[in-house]
Amino acid sequence: MLRKTVDNHLYLHFFDVVWNEQEQQVLPNGLLTVQCPLKGLTVTPVVYITNQSLKNSAPAQMDSLAFKVHRLLSRLTAKQAVVYENIQVDCDWSVDTRAKYFTFLRAFKQITGKKLEATIRLHQVKYPERTGVPPVDKGVLMFYNMGRISADLNARNSIYNYEDAAAYTAALPNYHLPLDIALPLFSWSIQIRAAKVIQLYAKISLQDLSDRQKFEPVYGKAVHVYKALTSFYLKGAYIKKGDLFKFEGMDTASLARAAKQVSEYLAPLENRNIIYYEISSINLPLYAKDIKDLSAYF
């Protein structure tokens, strides 16, 4: 399905760069294992760098980090025979790591010779004078995760909601970087016990929660809420009687609303990529036709 809808273009997360507490050094983690041949697909490799790993590194280490990331990425992509022109670097940098991160990006650009894209969080669009604009060819605005994941059953959808998004969109036209847009193509269920968030499950779907043998709906809340009627295992999760599940998802209508909202504020750009972001390997809740319709907004 991916091939059919997204111009055969795939953003693929190859590994994370994390701070390893035991080893006291910055190391790669979660290396990609590919389960199907990637031939014929345009792949943009994605590398996620935790802010913690930047915090724990000295500015002078950025060159060698760029080199190591390049070497590992080259090795992994060569193994999969992936040819690529762009690399996406994903990092939620902060004011104190900004200088180091930007040094890393400049070095990485020079070593790889590729076009670089950097992910941009909403707060970074809103306060560019504080967080800076990364020295890359393009930014990818992550138009999701705008609220807090909370046990409050009346809280707005934390993945996307119009009200929270509106606080950021006004700053969009002034951002000094061409922007692609990433829209949330995922959902999750938040497990709540004794008014505390216990866990987040991408794999527990609305369909699972609709099983009336196991759950009963709690009506009158801002999002879908279900209460467990018994204690049981489900998809590797353990659910206790009385647990509440808050389902936060994106259906066609809310995705269309998000697309429309963000498109109104974007500076004009030829060949804008719209990236649909999904988590791990859950089934896509939308169909090819919907995605084509949405892309018409841009």
Partner 1 sequence: MPKISKTFLLIFSLALIGAGSIVWACGGGDWDETEYSNFAPEAFVDHQYSPFFYNSWQTYYGTDVNDNSNTRYNQQVSEDWLGYLDKNIAQKDLNILLFSTSYGGIDSAYQHFKGKLNTLPAGLPDLKTSGLSKKQGDTFFSYLLLAKKCEQFAVSNVTYYWDEKVSLVTPAPEIKASLFKAFKKNRDVFVKQRYWFQLVRYAYFEELPRLNADSSAGPDNSGLVTLFKQYENSFPKNSIYYRALGYLAGHYYKRQDFARANYFYSLCYNFSSDMKIPSKWSFHPQEEKDWAESLQLAKNKEEKITLWQMMGIVHDEKRAIENIYLLDPKSEKLDLLLSRLINKIEVPNHESYMDSTLQIMVAAEDITLVDRIAVKGNTRKPYYWNMAAGYLHALHGDHIISGKFYDQAKLQLPENDRLMEAQYRLLKWSLYLSQLKKIDSNAESEMVADINWLADLRDQKDTVGGLRYQRALSESISGLANRYKMQGDLLKSNCFQSTTAFYARDENIEAMKSLLGKTNKTPFEKAMLRYYPYHMGDLYYQQGLMLVYQEKTDAAIALFEKSGENAAHELLANPFNGRINDCHDCDFAAVQTKKYTVLTMLRTIKAIKKEITAGKNLYTNNDLLANVYYNITHYGNARNFYQTEITGADATSAIDIPVAFRPQFTSSKIAEKYYLQARSAAKTSAQRARCTFMAAKCERNDIYNVTYNNPANEKKYYWDFDFETIPAGRYFAELKSRYSTTAFYKEILEECGYFKSYVNKP
What is the distance between the alpha carbons of residues 258 and 255, in angstroms, rounded to a whole number? 5
Would you say 8 or 230 has its CB closer to partner 1? 230
- The 44-83 site mask, x for binding partner 1 (CB under 8 A), equals ------------------------x--xx-----------
Q: Among 47-55, 131-139, 233-241, 267-275, which window interacts with partner 1 (CB under 8 A)?
A: 233-241
Among 20, 74, 154, 210, binds partner 1 (CB under 8 A): 20
Token pair recorded at residue 228: 């467990």
Phi, psi for 75 (deg, rounded to 5): -65, -45
Beta bridge partners of 200: 190
What is the layout of strands, in order, in the sheet containing 25-29? 25-29, 9-20, 42-49, 86-90, 115-120, 138-142, 179-184, 274-277
- The 157-196 site mask, x for binding partner 1 (CB under 8 A), equals -------------------------------------x-x
210 forms part of the interface with partner 1 (CB under 8 A): no
What is the distance between the alpha carbons of residues 72 and 82, in angstroms, rounded to a whole number? 13
Would you say 143 or 201 has its CB closer to partner 1? 201
Residues 257, 201 contacting (CB under 8 angstroms): no
Q: Contacts with partner 1 in 234-273 (CB under 8 A)? A: 234-236, 238, 240
Q: Beta-carbon neighbour count of residue 52 at 10 Å?
A: 14
Token pair recorded at residue 295: 């892309």
Q: How far is the CB of 11 from partner 1 (least distance, A)?
A: 21
Q: How far is the CB of 157 from partner 1 (least distance, A)?
A: 26
Would you say 190 or 266 has its CB closer to partner 1? 190
Q: How far is the CB of 171 from partner 1 (least distance, A)?
A: 29
Give the count of residues interacting with partner 1 (CB under 8 A).
25
Chain residues in the site for partner 1 (CB under 8 A): 15, 20-23, 27-31, 33, 35, 68, 71-72, 194, 196, 231-236, 238, 240
